Amino acid sequence: MNETRVGCMPGKQARMLLEEIADWGWVTTIVLHAGSVFEFKGPFPTGTEGHGFYNLNGEMPGFHGHLNLDLVSHIRFQDKPHRGQESYAFVFETADNEVIFKVFVGRDKSGELIDLQTARFKALQAQYQQETRHEQ
């Protein structure tokens, strides 16, 4: 069930997006599992493919992991306030719409969204909303 959802990036774009986000600097990555929330604030690490995974190559100590990008059906654009502040995230989901993980646009030391990241997020969001409208 790898169909294109309206306003979403197709899962096959996951690696490209993660490679781009690795150049953005400070972001927040959240993993939700069994009612727990794991959060990492810092640069998203670069990765390489091997043994069926996208292997994150962050500095030590730091964020590491092995992502099964074949399970990413689509990447939803989350655009909603969080605790009264603007908030934007890429939500990596399975074909059953289960969240695998999220990468949020970063904030500066004063808690404001990083302008360049916000602009790039909105540009990607607009691009994929436009593309899926034309496909219908």
Longest Cα pair distance anywhere in the chain, in angstroms?
46
Letter for the amino acid at 37? V
Q: What percent of the chain has pLDDT over 70?
A: 91
Whole-prediction pTM value?
0.90
What are the residue boundaries of the structural domains of the chain, listed by start?
9-135
Q: What is the mean pLDDT of residues 29-58?
A: 93
Topology (CATH level 3) of domain 9-135:
Heme iron utilization protein-like fold (3.40.1570)
What pLDDT, on the 0 to 100 scale, is given for residue 131?
A: 66
The pLDDT tens digits for 12-21 are: 999 999 999 9
What gap in Å lies between CA 40 and CA 29, rounded to an integer?
Answer: 5
Are the C-beta atoms of residues 4 and 15 closer than 8 Å to each other? no
The pLDDT tens digits for 68-96 are: 999 999 999 999 988 889 999 999 999 99
Where is 15: in which H helix or E strand? helix 14-21
What pLDDT, on the 0 to 100 scale, is given for residue 2?
A: 41
| Strand-strand pairing, 26-33 and 99-104 | antiparallel
